Amino acid sequence: MKTIAGLLLAGAVLFAQASQPVEEFKTSAGMVKIRIVQHASMMIEAGGKVIHVDPWGQGYVGGFPKADLILITDIHPDHLDQKAIDQVKKDGTDFIAPAAVAKTVTQGKVLANGESTTWDKWKIEAVPMYNLKRGPSPGALYHDKGRGNGYVLTYGGTRFYIAGDTEGIPEMRALKSIDVAFVPMNLPYTMTPEEAADAVRAFHPKVVYPYHYRGSDPEVFKKALDGSGIEVRLRNWYY
């Protein structure tokens, strides 16, 4: 019975994967396709290469192309999931991660906040992600400054911002020329939809996707950006 149940679950997940939207973006170097997977996980395809970002959970039962590159933002288990990583890595997969993650994923190339590198046709910039005020106890934060990375990925002149777990920090608000942004909003770990909208207004991407929003209402985020000129795209990151 457990085997049958497992097969049924795997089949349901694969069906859900197949129905998840693929977002397409034209760049000067060709098309970038981003498949929404789950929570903070996504798969990026461009130029015949596959990038997985924060692979996590049952979204990675199977059915995805293997990764040429895996990007990891933080040490928390919904971003650093060895089982999911094992599902999508292959011989020769590259890893980029902050130093705290590289203690576990030891084959990773370490990028610290403010550093950048190139990979294939991509420029990859590590940007801060951290809490300003929220934490598990007085004087402690869920995400300390410098531990994790958000990323700005540039391909064919188009700039994609993956925020990671963060509040509306000054470094986010100061970003320039972002075409597509993925911004979190869930309590107690990041920020409210209203706080996220306020930060997004500051750096004004062309397109923004709320993600990592379990327990929050992304419609509130969208309404808070009415009249801003920013296109808000709501997608289902949970199944």
Instruction: Quote the CA–CA distance of 25 and 46 in Å, as a whole number.
Output: 10
Report yes or no on 8 lying in a domain: no
* Residue corresponding to tokens 């149940």: 5
Tell me whether residue 110 is exposed, middle or buried, using C-beta atoms within 10 angstroms of its C-beta: 0 to 12, 13 to 18, 19 or more. middle
Q: At which residue do the structure tokens 């801003």 appear?
A: 228
Helices (H), 44-190: 82-88, 99-102, 170-173
* Position 9 in a domain: no
Query: Is the pLDDT reported for residue 170 higher than 90?
Result: yes
User: In the predicted model, is pLDDT for residue 209 greater than 80?
Assistant: yes
Per the structure block, which two tokens stand in for 197? 């909208």
List C-alpha distances in Å: 60 to 63, 89, 101, 227.
8, 11, 20, 37
pLDDT of residue 61: 63
The answer on pLDDT for 60 being more than 80 is: no
On whether residue 116 sits in a domain, the answer given is: yes
Task: Collect all residues with Cβ–Cβ distance below 8 Å to 114 and sequence separation of at least 6.
Answer: 126, 127, 128
Q: Return the pLDDT at 57.
A: 85
Residue 180 within a domain: yes
Task: Kindly indicate the confidence band of residue 239, based on its pLDDT and cuts at 50, 70 and 90.
Answer: confident
Mapping DSSP to helix (H, G, I), strand (E, B) and coil, where does residue 221 land? helix
Q: Where is pLDDT greater, at 1 or 22?
A: 22
Q: Does residue 68 fall inside a structural domain?
A: yes
Residues 171-176 have a mean pLDDT of: 98
Domain encompassing residue 184: 21-232
Residue 15 lies in a domain: no
Measured between alpha carbons, how far is 135 from 138 in angstroms, rounded to an integer?
7
Distance (Å, rounded) from C-alpha 126 to C-alpha 116? 6
> Is pLDDT at 51 greater than 50 in this prediction?
yes
The pLDDT-based confidence of 28 (bands split at 50, 70, 90) is: very high
pLDDT above 90 (res 235): yes
Count of structural domains, the chain = 1
Cis ω before 188 (30° cut-off from 0): yes
Single pTM value for the model:
0.91
Higher-scoring residue by pLDDT: 164, 60: 164
pLDDT band at 211 (very low <50, low <70, confident <90, very high): very high
Q: Is residue 10 part of a domain?
A: no
Q: Is the pLDDT of residue 137 over 50?
A: yes
Cα distance between residue 121 and residue 214, in whole Å:
33
Task: Please write the tens of the pLDDT for every residue from 115-130.
Answer: 999 999 999 999 999 9
- Residue 75 structure tokens: 């040490």
CATH of residue 105's domain is 3.60.15.10
- Sorted by sequence, the CB contacts under 8 Å of residue 226 that are 6+ apart come out as none
What average pLDDT does range 68-90 have in this prediction?
94
Tokens linked to 134:
């929220």
For the chain, give the mean pLDDT: 91
Assigned domain for 123 exists: yes
Among 35-39, 60-64, 102-106, 176-180, which is the least confidently predicted range? 60-64
Structure tokens at 7: 């097969």
Rounded Cα distance between 42 and 38, Å, is 7
Q: What is the mean pLDDT of residues 157-182?
A: 98
The closest alpha carbon to 33, from 127, 213, 158, belongs to 158
pLDDT, residue 7, reads 42
| Residue-level pLDDT at 55 | 94
Stretch 75-101: mean pLDDT: 94
Tokens 């203690």 belong to which residue? Answer: 103
